[in-house]
Amino acid sequence: MKNYFGLVERGLSVRNFAKIILLSTGLLFFASACITLGKDFGSPWLSGNQDGELAWTYGNYDYSVFGERKAKDLVIQFDDNGVVTTYTFSTTEHNE
């Protein structure tokens, strides 16, 4: 058996060492995971009825295990003629 990096003296085979490296790499990627949901413009991310009126929701949500979490929501409500009756914009950004 070849002795790569002195692994045999430490009681590790190359196969076990490779498993440890792969698991460590996977855990590193999992711990630094980031998720982005929604979209800013284009067709609405969600649509439905709110208070009996058609409502479209645009949103952008960035979640990270260690980083800053950001969220933006724009909800627009329309009457039966397609005219905007109300809208609400919410964000976690304090400068917008």
Residue-wise pLDDT tens digits, 26-39: 666 665 566 666 66
Question: What residue numbers bound the domain in which 75 lies?
Answer: 34-96
Q: Looking at the structure, do residues 75 and 59 belong to the same domain, yes or no? A: yes
Q: Looking at the structure, do residues 86 and 45 belong to the same domain, yes or no? A: yes
CA distance 10 to 92: 51
Q: Looking at the structure, do residues 1 and 48 belong to the same domain, yes or no? A: no
Q: Looking at the structure, do residues 21 and 61 belong to the same domain, yes or no? A: no
- Whole-model pTM: value is 0.57
**Overall domain count for the chain:** 2
Q: Residue 5 — pLDDT band, cuts 50, 70, 90?
A: low
pLDDT given for residue 71 in this prediction: 87
Q: Looking at the structure, do residues 62 and 73 belong to the same domain, yes or no? A: yes
